[in-house]
Chains A and B, each alone.
Chain A
Amino acid sequence: MAIGTGNIWRFPRIVARNGGGAFLVPWMAALLLWSIPLLMVESAIGKATRRGTVGSFATIMGSHFAWMGGFVALCTVAIMCYYSVVAGWCLRYLAAAFANRLAGADSRLVWEAFVANPMQQSFFHLAAMAIAAGIVCGGVAKGIERVNKVLIPGLFVLLAIAAVRALTLPGAAAGLEFFFRPNWGTLADYRVWLEGLTQSAWSTGAGWGLFLTYAVYSRTREDVALNSLVVGFGNNSASLLVGVGLFPAVFALAPGLGLEPLSVLRESGPASTGLAFLWVPRLFSVCPGGRFLLVVFFLALSTAAITSLISMVELATCNLVDAGMARPRAVMLTAALGFLAGLPSALHLSFLENQDWVWGLGLLVSGLFFAIAARRFGVRNFREQLLNAPGSGIRIGRWWDFLLRFFIPAEFLLLIGWWFYQSIVVFEPHSWWNPLRAFSLGTCVAQWALGMGVLILLNGVLVRRFLAGGRAK
């Protein structure tokens, strides 16, 4: 579930922007000091309360705090709406790769023709949402678990095939050299550390509430600490596998097209589409076996996108089931609302970029809420009662208490404080407050405040519906 588009198209771009090999150090540190501890909190809360995010926060922290779980759900559901659009792009390109319409074509024209066609955009957005909803409708054990047992190992196999093919290209070693050889000087730049943290949080899913949701259905003797470690290291293993395939491929193929490899990797493009949708089709189409490689790449990307989308649909469904709605109806409602709310992102890239900016950063707030929940429960009690429960395969030590009590809140404050400062003083000194600008501080704060304000006002209703109401089957 944690393996998604963040591994395949976000990770290589962030590595290239942040000095190559040296970036791997803060990225690994963030896994151990932010993502894994928060994944443990999420999973333990879900397993202990057996409720979705709203009911879980109300149970763990008290009924006055149901809105915090509502905000976690709001962030993830808002992401779900535009993530389905991105998953639709992956499906569209997979279909084009199968039909051999990418190799030899001008990838920029292909992309521009696609985004200029609202019917196609809407159709593939609907297709992605329908596939995810269909799988979620089957339930966790019969639907999601069964599908993911095939899709996730299959994804690793596809990535391994792509890596082997890329490593056998002439000139591939230069890509490996860039990916692994550290330039220690870049570690003096604090932005590299901040990028490491945001990449780890985005990619592992820490703070999204997705692991809380799956833990609701876990067995009593499930080892949440061990599972969180597997998810965290599995996510980073997949990212490394992508890097081992993509960096050598770009370094081997770009010079033949008169392109500079690093500029190819760093170019973001509209809605961060640069590497996956503009460059990969162009690069792979000129190498031997390129058509096969394109199909493998977009199959892996589509698989990763759909598995992540499934988790988001399940999160919304789980909360609606808590409120007493029957599961099939909850899935249908989630998919229908997700499709409708995602249409503006499908039809206007600027809207999608704004939503990605606002709710992607909102995940850091969600992560802080989970840390606050553990603190309110009592960090030591949380560890002893919920993490080191009977049957746990590994025991979590006091280091975890320190991370939750001090380190994670300090990380959040540093990150947010730095961002506020940069926005107000450096990036947009005259328009940082403007909520109508796509990437302003003001648009984030306004949308978060609106969401939180409504949720706080409705806190009593949330408690009655999501906590006191009977959980539907």
Chain B
Amino acid sequence: MSALGIAMMVIILGGVWGTFVWLLVLVARHEGGSAEDNAQ
């Protein structure tokens, strides 16, 4: 693979998959907070 191809692959996969995982973590934290609120 060319250097440009590898760079684009890293940027796109890292950007999209990284953001998706980060958002899932945010959702998990948000749901955790809601559960506490609900318990209260």
Interface of A with B (CB < 8 Å)?
21, 24, 28, 173, 176-177, 179-182, 219, 221, 223, 226-227, 229-230, 233-234, 236-237, 240, 244, 391, 393-394
Q: Is the CB of B17 within 8 A of A226?
A: no
Please judge, given known A-B contacts A229-B23, A237-B16, whether A180 and B9 are in contact too, CB under 8 Å.
Answer: yes
Q: Is the CB of A177 within 8 A of B1?
A: yes
Q: Is the CB of B24 within 8 A of A181?
A: no
Q: Is the CB of B5 within 8 A of A180?
A: yes
In the bound complex, what is the Cα–Cα distance between A223 and B33 (angstroms)? 12
Say how far A204's CB is from chain B's closest CB, in angstroms: 13
Q: Is the CB of B27 within 8 A of A226?
A: yes
Q: Is the CB of B16 within 8 A of A233?
A: yes
Q: Is the CB of A221 within 8 A of B12?
A: no
Q: Is the CB of A24 within 8 A of B12?
A: yes
Please judge, given known A-B contacts A180-B5, A181-B2, whether A230 and B23 are in contact too, CB under 8 Å.
Answer: yes
In the bound complex, what is the Cα–Cα distance between A181 and B20 (angstroms)? 22
Instruction: Give the 4 A-B residue pairs with the shortest CB-CB distance, closest first.
Output: A181-B5, A180-B9, A233-B20, A393-B30
28 contacts between A and B (CB under 8 A): A24-B8, A28-B16, A173-B1, A176-B1, A176-B9, A177-B5, A179-B9, A180-B5, A180-B6, A180-B8, A181-B4, A182-B8, A219-B34, A221-B34, A223-B30, A226-B23, A226-B27, A230-B20, A230-B24, A233-B20, A234-B20, A237-B20, A240-B16, A240-B17, A391-B34, A391-B37, A393-B27, A394-B26
Please judge, given known A-B contacts A237-B17, A240-B16, whether A393 and B26 are in contact too, CB under 8 Å.
Answer: yes
List of B residues within 8 angstroms of A230 by Cβ: 20, 23-24, 27
List of A residues within 8 angstroms of B26 by Cβ: 226, 393-394
Taking a contact as CB atoms closer than 8 A, the residue among A21, A223, A226, A236 that contacts B16 in the complex is A236
List of A residues within 8 angstroms of B24 by Cβ: 230
Q: Is the CB of A226 within 8 A of B1?
A: no
List of B residues within 8 angstroms of A394 by Cβ: 26
Say how far B29's CB is from chain A's closest CB, in angstroms: 7
Q: A240-B13, A391-B34 are in contact. List 16 more A-B contacts (CB 8 A).
A: A24-B8, A24-B12, A28-B16, A173-B1, A180-B8, A180-B9, A180-B12, A221-B37, A223-B27, A230-B27, A233-B16, A237-B16, A237-B17, A240-B12, A240-B16, A393-B30
In the bound complex, what is the Cα–Cα distance between A24 and B37 (angstroms)? 41
Q: Is the CB of A177 within 8 A of B17?
A: no
Say how far B8's CB is from chain A's closest CB, in angstroms: 4
Closest to B3 in A: A181
In the bound complex, what is the Cα–Cα distance between A21 and B13 (angstroms)? 12
List of A residues within 8 angstroms of B17 by Cβ: 237, 240
Q: How many residues of B contact A (CB 8 A)?
A: 21
List of B residues within 8 angstroms of A180 by Cβ: 5-6, 8-9, 12
In the bound complex, what is the Cα–Cα distance between A394 and B23 (angstroms)? 10
In the bound complex, what is the Cα–Cα distance between A221 and B37 (angstroms)? 10
In the bound complex, what is the Cα–Cα distance between A138 and B23 (angstroms)? 29
Interface of B with A (CB < 8 Å)?
1-2, 4-6, 8-9, 12-13, 16-17, 19-20, 23-24, 26-27, 29-30, 34, 37
Please judge, given known A-B contacts A21-B8, A173-B1, A177-B2, whether A233 and B23 are in contact too, CB under 8 Å.
Answer: yes
List of A residues within 8 angstroms of B37 by Cβ: 221, 391
Please judge, given known A-B contacts A237-B20, A240-B13, whether A393 and B5 are in contact too, CB under 8 Å.
Answer: no
List of B residues within 8 angstroms of A223 by Cβ: 27, 30
Please judge, given known A-B contacts A28-B16, A176-B9, A237-B20, whether A226 and B30 are in contact too, CB under 8 Å.
Answer: yes
Q: Is the CB of A233 within 8 A of B4?
A: no
Say how far A286's CB is from chain B's closest CB, in angstroms: 24
Q: Is the CB of B5 within 8 A of A21?
A: yes
Say how far B9's CB is from chain A's closest CB, in angstroms: 4
In the bound complex, what is the Cα–Cα distance between A236 and B20 (angstroms)? 9
Say how far A208's CB is from chain B's closest CB, in angstroms: 21
In the bound complex, what is the Cα–Cα distance between A437 and B24 (angstroms)? 46
Say how far B38's CB is from chain A's closest CB, in angstroms: 8
List of B residues within 8 angstroms of A28 by Cβ: 12, 16
Say how far B6's CB is from chain A's closest CB, in angstroms: 8
List of A residues within 8 angstroms of B12 by Cβ: 24, 28, 180, 240
Say how far A424's CB is from chain B's closest CB, in angstroms: 37
Say how far A448's CB is from chain B's closest CB, in angstroms: 34
Say how far B17's CB is from chain A's closest CB, in angstroms: 5
In the bound complex, what is the Cα–Cα distance between A234 and B2 (angstroms)? 28
In the bound complex, what is the Cα–Cα distance between A234 and B6 (angstroms)? 22
Taking a contact as CB atoms closer than 8 A, the residue among B13, B16, B19, B29 that contacts A393 in the complex is B29
List of B residues within 8 angstroms of A226 by Cβ: 23, 26-27, 30
In the bound complex, what is the Cα–Cα distance between A226 and B31 (angstroms)? 11
List of A residues within 8 angstroms of B8 by Cβ: 21, 24, 180-182
